[in-house]
Amino acid sequence: MNDINWQEMLKRGHKQTKLQRIIGIIALAIILGFAMWHFFYASTPEYALNQLEKAIQTNDQALFEEYCNLDSITAKAYDDLTRDMFAHDSHLSNETKVMFERFYMKIKPQLITETNKLLLSYISSGKWNAPTNNNILKGRQLGIDYEYLVERSQLRNTTLIKVDNITRHNNDAIVKIIVRDKYTDTNYTLNLVMAKSDGSWKIVEIQNYRDYIDFLSPIQESGIKKYINDTSDITQKYNSILDAQQTRFKKLSKTSDGKLTTNNRSKLVSYIRSDIIPALEKRQEELNEFPVNDGAQYLALQRKESTRLSVAAWEHFITALETDSPEEFNISNAFHKDAMNIDHRIDDIIKNTAISTELPSTP
């Protein structure tokens, strides 16, 4: 019995040893496979780009930040965007241009921080969100129109078509990507600079970003110029109408003691409903009939938004007159302020287009 037990135990031992060897070989193969995968693929620029694509598709902000150095990218891009911004504006003296350039450098840290938040918000939500509430970039609190600056960056209207080529030099790599401007359907090759640090690759710079802006801006400005010229008769006609209405409105609002009587309020409400709001809506209807040319989409959108906000401001003003509600007056003023900000932006777009094309400003 003892001999038989020993024989069985030896057999079991041999089987266990064989099984342990097989398990060990499998584990070693897995470890070696992972090591080879990490060495040959996971530590490559291609892998980093795939992870970035995955981050964007799945709205994974943390994964995006792991393979993209936003601070480095936006800092360099900011310099490219603001460099020579006023170089072609003959209305400004050299001293004024230098002053503006220094101002843009002074506010650079704040703009970089907030722009990174904007980009990460887009990664997380898939939507471009505008600054809200008390954000310093809302409106013109910093003395600039941040919304228009973002628009001029081409950030929101540029889409990735494909990765064209990757060239690696030790711990640096240049990735050529084909992008398309949605406004003009124009393709361009951007050069992304990648750097390897701690075994991982990150995008650190858009090497030819300035060239991209210089290439695309004239194409877009040509479309904006055509749209401005095509709609100039409409804008001039309604500018005259709205100016006359503003004069009439002031006369109806004028009283000896500065207080509106019930009769004054009734006349104002009637005039706003019968003349002012219909004129705004009619102007927009006529503008909508014109095709929007390549590059003019943003200007057309701003005009629509200005009309919407202006109508909303007047509607709340009517409610305020009818109910004597301070809250409605405040809401009306807020809408009016937003509409004025957009009107300033529209003027800037038209002025910049005129300067770039050496044409007089057109309303």
Residue 360: the pLDDT is: 38
Residue 84: the pLDDT is: 63
Count of beta carbons in the 10 Å neighbourhood of residue 237? 12
Residue 98: the pLDDT is: 79
Give the phi and the psi of residue 103 in degrees, each rounded to 5.
Answer: -65, -45
For the chain, what percent of residues have pLDDT higher than 90? Answer: 59
Residue 34: the pLDDT is: 43
Between 12 and 62, the higher pLDDT residue: 62
Q: Is the pLDDT of residue 26 over 60?
A: no
DSSP, collapsed to helix, strand or coil, labels residue 150 as helix
Q: Is the pLDDT of residue 133 over 70?
A: no
Which stretches does DSSP call E strand in the chain?
A: 158-169, 172-181, 186-197, 200-206
- Of 320, 45, 31, nearest to 203 by C-alpha is 45
Q: What's the whole-model pTM score? A: 0.81
Residues 324 and 330: their CA atoms lie apart, in Å, by: 11
Residue 359: the pLDDT is: 41
Question: What's the average model confidence in pLDDT over 74-95?
Answer: 78
Question: What's the average model confidence in pLDDT over 329-338?
Answer: 95
DSSP, collapsed to helix, strand or coil, labels residue 158 as strand
- Of 362, 363, 356, nearest to 88 by C-alpha is 356
What is the full DSSP assignment across 288-357?
A: HTSPPPTT-HHHHHHHHHHHHHHHHHHHHHHHHHHHT-HHHHHHHHHHHHHHHHHHHHHHHHHHHHHHHT
Strand partners, 203: 68, 194
* Structure-token match 């749209």, residue found: 227
pLDDT-derived band of residue 355, with 50, 70 and 90 as boundaries? low
- The predicted-structure confidence for 141-182, as pLDDT tens digits, reads as follows 667 788 888 899 999 999 999 999 999 988 999 999 999 999
- The predicted-structure confidence for 296-319, as pLDDT tens digits, reads as follows 999 999 999 999 999 999 999 999
Residue 362: the pLDDT is: 33
Residue 33: the pLDDT is: 44
Write down the mean pLDDT value for the chain: 85
Question: What's the average model confidence in pLDDT over 321-340?
Answer: 95
Residue 177: the pLDDT is: 95
- The predicted-structure confidence for 189-206, as pLDDT tens digits, reads as follows 999 999 998 888 999 999
